[in-house]
Amino acid sequence: MARCGRVFISVAEDSADAHAAALIRAARQRLPDVRFYGLTGPRMRAEGAETLVDLTSQAAMLTEAIGLVGRAWQAIRLVERSWRQQPPDLVVLLDSPELHLRLAARAKRLGLAVLYYIAPQTWAAREGRNRHIARCVDHLACILPFEQAYFRRFGIPATYVGHPLFETLRSQRPKDATVARLRGDGRPLIALLPGSRRHVIETMFPLQLCVIAALRTRGVDPRAVVSAVDERRATQIRSIAPTSDAILQIVAADNASLLTAADLVLVASGTATLEVAYRRKPMIVMYDAGRLLSPLYRAFGRYVVRAPHLSLVNVLAGRRVVPEFMPFVRDVRPIAALAARLLRDESWRRLMMKQLDEVVQPLEHSQASNGVCALLEQLLPRAASGRRPVGVRTAPIRTPGGSDGP
């Protein structure tokens, strides 16, 4: 069993930074001599990882991806140059397939072993990517239970390790005083989760406010409280809210308390739906990819998107457990109608919470970081013995956070 090694690790957004930091903490216990460096975020640096470039502050998807292309390509060239100068013993890539499948291809050309953690969701769309994954990735660490069998059908070595989100959620406890304050005057409390990325908040938060306004026209007068991942996003949310919503409450970095207090959640699609499910709260999932993509989706979407459900909760359940309005929201009135019904229909609420419990139970005790560490233990000896020379070794890479490279 290998107890030493130099591991290149790469993330391109905030959530992956958190999951990678948890992996590094677990590795300190199981693989204390392994050293991590690469495209890292602030949480990884706090755990001792060395940094070539930090892309997490500019993380983007869909329309904002265009703005990231230039810096991402610079990072790819810097990484490839560093690999040639001083090859790592293993390359670990987390999520962000637009970036990391390109890095995987370059790693494979240089004879480096690749572990991909948080597998690309090719079961939902772009299944043709599996041929590329099979060529360039030595092992996939899957975070959804059905993914292991799915990827193995394409000849891709894959192991289900559990979902890393639940490692974080287990450590978060609601604050009784905050819950009591949020429940306030007894009116229905709707939690708004507009996402964590700037461009998603810009799109989804106004739509969620429109749902609240439409509810009021139906005679439902809820209190709306908005989740912000941090104070920076809270400032953005305040800048979007109209003056008529000046009393709108914002809860920063405390979803445990907000979701515990909520009667209903309007949530932008993504892993946040699993966080709501973990708290067993009724929800409506909504996401709008923007007007520019709407014609393309109508023309080609049925050829690209294969999954019958788009929200993660429904994908895991294999049926429509929660209402989903995505990938476009053309009219908020149907959302408001369902929200009003969910607030009033106790039998539907109980059924939804029971179905959410069935989805979450197999996942909530996940130890994903330990599962990935076990794969590191297996891959590091083979990587060290099987790697071909790719360049001249030089001095260690400088740290932290620099963009100058080695």
| Structural domains present in the chain | 4-164+366-386 (3.40.50.2000), 176-360 (3.40.50.2000)
Confidence of residue 245 (pLDDT cuts 50, 70, 90): low
pTM (two decimals)? 0.88
pLDDT in tens, 27-71: 999 999 999 999 999 999 999 999 999 998 765 443 344 444 678
pLDDT given for residue 70 in this prediction: 75
Half-sphere exposure of 376 (CA within 13 A, CB side): 32
**Res 6 pLDDT > 50:** yes
Rounded to the nearest 5°, which phi and psi values hold at 159?
-135, 130
Neighbours of 190 (CB within 10 A): 24
**Segments in 154-230 forming alpha helices (H):** 165-169, 176-183, 198-217
**Res 138 pLDDT > 80:** yes
Q: For residue 398, give the amino acid letter.
A: R
**Res 77 pLDDT > 80:** yes
Tokens of 32: 């204390």
CA distance 146 to 153: 11
**Res 379 pLDDT > 90:** yes
